[in-house]
């Protein structure tokens, strides 16, 4: 019986290692910004990693005439470009999403780019997929951006991206869409 207890204790001791086993880090140059929360990283071996920024959800960009973009989607994309395009960044990645993108926190000089997007009011804390939120500071940053009417919070009828995908893209109710 004691032997089983010892083995069970050892197995439990290694559980955190198994949970974190998929975490990995990348360093590379951002060669493309797809939208306000997706970039492409060029690794040192010249392979590419498409990254979905963890913690946040930025305004949706246009994806064809049946999927119009949200207000400020281009501004969010441009701001993310100004922060990372052509720069060497660090990416701490947690998993792959259903589109095979790495879900990562991107940092430059120790500063979270993901958090900067929320600070600027150009992304929401990802409330639709809280499992992708690793840095809970995004919740407070969203509150501050909202109080200061920054970015999306300056709009009278702002809609979170997860609602936009449902209401506009799925149900064709696209009031205020960017063309």
The count of structural domains within the chain is 1
CA dihedral 71, 72, 76, 79 (to 10 degrees): 160
Asked, for residue 12, whether it belongs to a domain, the answer is no
SS3 170: helix
Q: Is residue 2 part of a domain?
A: no
What CATH number does the domain containing 63 carry?
A: 2.40.50.90
The answer as to whether 144 is a domain residue is: yes
CB 73 within 8 A of CB 97: no
Position 23 in a domain: yes
Domain membership of residue 11 (yes or no) is: no
Q: Tell me, what's the pLDDT at 21?
A: 53
**Alpha helices, H only, 51-173:** 73-84, 113-119, 137-147, 161-164
pLDDT value for 170 = 75
Active site residues: 52, 60, 101
Residue 79's φ and ψ, nearest 5 degrees, are -65, -45
Question: The domain containing residue 158 runs over which residues?
Answer: 19-170
90: DSSP letter = E
Provide the b/e sequence for 27-63 (b: ≥16 CB within 10 Å): ebebeebebbbbbbbeeeeeeebbbbbbbbbbbbbbe
Q: What's the whole-model pTM score?
A: 0.83
Share of the chain above pLDDT 90, in %: 65
178, HSE (Cβ side, Cα atoms, 13 Å): 16
User: Which residues of the chain have a pLDDT value below 50?
Assistant: 2, 4-20
Residue 72: per-residue pLDDT: 95
Model pLDDT, residue 9:
45
* Mean residue pLDDT across the chain: 87
d(Cα 71, Cα 40) in Å, to the nearest integer? 23
Q: Which two tokens stand for residue 156?
A: 């009278």
- What are 155's two structure tokens? 């709009």
* Assigned domain for 3 exists: no
What pLDDT does 63 receive?
Answer: 78
pLDDT of res. 16: 38
Task: Indicate whether 178 belongs to any domain.
Answer: no
User: What pLDDT does residue 178 have?
Assistant: 65
Measured distance CA(77)–CA(36) in Å, rounded: 4
């Amino acid at each position: 019986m004691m032997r089983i207890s010892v083995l069970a204790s050892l197995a439990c001791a290694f559980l955190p290692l198994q949970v974190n086993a998929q975490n990995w880090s990348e360093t590379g140059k951002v060669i493309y910004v797809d939208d306000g929360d997706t970039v492409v990283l060029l690794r040192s071996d010249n392979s590419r990693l498409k990254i979905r920024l963890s913690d946040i959800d930025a305004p949706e960009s246009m994806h064809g005439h049946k999927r119009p973009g949200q207000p400020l989607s281009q501004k969010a994309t441009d701001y993310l470009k100004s922060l990372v395009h052509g720069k060497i960044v660090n990416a701490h990645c947690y998993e792959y999403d259903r589109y095979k993108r790495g879900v990562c926190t991107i940092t430059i000089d120790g500063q979270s780019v993901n958090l900067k997007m929320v600070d600027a009011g150009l992304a929401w804390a990802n409330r639709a997929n809280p499992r992708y939120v690793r840095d809970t500071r995004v919740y407070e940053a969203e509150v501050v951006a909202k109080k200061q009417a920054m970015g999306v919070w300056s709009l009278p009828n702002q809609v979170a991206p997860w609602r936009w995908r449902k209401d506009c893209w799925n149900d064709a109710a696209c009031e205020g869409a960017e063309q």
